[in-house]
Amino acid sequence: MFDFINDKTDKTPGKVFFSVEDKYGKFVIRNGTYRGEEARLYEVDGVRESASFFDEKKYDLVFDYAKSFLNLFDIMPGARNILMLGGAGFQFPKYVISHYPEMIMDVVEINPLAVRLARKYFFLNDLERDFRAESEGRLNIVLADGMDYFRTEDKKYDIIINDAYHSNLPDQGLTSPEGTRLIKEHLSPGGVYGFNLITSIAGKDSMPLMMTRNILSYAFEDVSYIICSPDVKPDVVQNLLFISRA
């Protein structure tokens, strides 16, 4: 059963619709602007984790790093089964379901609150109404820890996307050597793994980049990354998309 109540018609700038603190952090949902466009913003401990535009653009991608995930589809043409680790506001799953009718997407999200927020404030219920995504099996939401999911699920995926964050820190289990090994084991032959990493490319804040590259290289022979926002200076913390191929 789906509750189609949400607040999409109220775009009062700066209005806080929801604020609560749980064991995963302080969640705030507010309206604002992103690059001059009205948007609903999803914040955890002051870090923007997701966003959505309104009306006819409610299924569009907002952040550059989310747009960079589309590179994985170019690398793996014909991909059909997609796994996303970390749902938050379901920005990318909404785009996939609304733009790629042949794709099936599983989303593993550890926090039930995140799914409730996505349904009520980020048009996930609208997606069901418009595309019957969940009822027809194209979008499957799994409430679980990512590591637990991999240890109990044998399913293989053409593409796995890791966007599991706790505020501004990636999930430690999924980014460990064991987590990386499990991710590779769940890729189909030739499958692609994309990992959104917050780091700088150079300077004192570049340690996550070097550590991630080393860990991925133990499991994958083909490891590279792309810069999600090319205009950002190398010593500034930013989003990179690591791409590894099985």
Q: Tens digits of per-residue pLDDT, 156-183?
A: 999 999 999 987 889 999 999 999 999 9
Per CATH, is 59-245 categorized as 3.40.50.150?
yes
Examine the pLDDT at 9 and tell me if it is beyond 50: no
User: 196, 164 in Cβ contact below 8 A?
Assistant: no
Residue 212, H or E segment: helix 207-219
The backbone torsions φ and ψ at residue 174, rounded to the nearest 5 degrees and listed phi first, read -65, -25
Model pLDDT, residue 167: 77
User: Are the beta carbons of 222 and 192 closer than 8 angstroms?
Assistant: no
pLDDT score of 240: 96
What pLDDT is attached to residue 169? Answer: 87
Q: Which tens digit of pLDDT belongs to each residue from 191-218? A: 999 999 999 999 999 999 999 999 999 9
**H or E segment at 184?**
helix 177-185
Confidence of residue 244 (pLDDT cuts 50, 70, 90): very high
Q: How deeply is 234 buried, as exposed, middle or buried, from its count of CB atoms within 10 A (0-12, 13-18, 19+)?
A: exposed
Which of 2-6, 154-158, 239-243 is the least confident region?
A: 2-6
**Residue bearing the bigger pLDDT, 164 or 14:** 164
Enter the pTM of the model.
Answer: 0.93
Task: Say how far apart CA 60 and CA 26 lie, in whole Å.
Answer: 26
